[in-house]
Structure 1
């Protein structure tokens, strides 16, 4: 018997309430419900089954550890996808900073995994990312890299570069404008989804 949407929402809300109380069976039910769509979504971004499984594992560990903060009145699905996307962005940031990690990540990618939006190879993706960043003036690119890729605060970057936080904000605003234009142009072409996704999240 198929559940109506209202019934499904009510049952999921009940499971979330139970999860908040530490009920492991509720956790398992929610895991089994969402693991496959989440895994496919993550795989589409990282193109590695092993990496996707690691991220999925980390995701549900976070859900369990922070179960008391769950709000049953908010979309649990949106909550899961937001965590997944944040974990993917963290992965890409680490790869951007760590050559050894990046090589290992590339080595684990399934190059036979195909998707219409994933038609470019890894070398071409890197070239496109470099192309996007090199549209920025040198100082603007440096500020964007420090804040958005290395994850430093505006205050930290201002102190490092000996400029005001207002100057940092101006550089970030300029970078966002240039990179958004890059996204608009490339979403009409063949830029890989994972690259579009990463840049768009860095602009948030």
Structure 2
């Protein structure tokens, strides 16, 4: 099929389009969270396939190729949406190194230390699940595989870890800490 498409066969393109439309549309929905944008993404993906059809004869896994093309187009769309001229000043000030005052830096370090203290008081398994999830960004499936436990066990440890951390931190009655943790961890 790819050989036929690479020579410009429109019937082959139509078959590939019909066969893979749902797959590409699903990628768009997952990343862009909009049916309209997902439809546009799928159309753009197939336009790119048509324009690059001559190189397709060398593609080993067409399904993976489509996923990469569609994902990259979706990320490009999000990047353009975020990095607009209107957002430039806000983004520059947000990520500026000197944006935080020395007092804010000290408060952040204190909050971070309290969180680490709370995590250190967890039992070893819960501690490891929390660190893998919140500090390394692993999913429950990845944690389960790494720790040789079930996904359900990973979720259970996380729920229990979060409850224990909330309880530990409640003794400090530090309002900014609760806000910070609510935003980033809990």
The normalised TM-score by structure 2 is 0.48
The structure whose Rg is larger is: 2
Higher relative contact order (CA 8 A, sep 6+): 1
More helix by share: 2
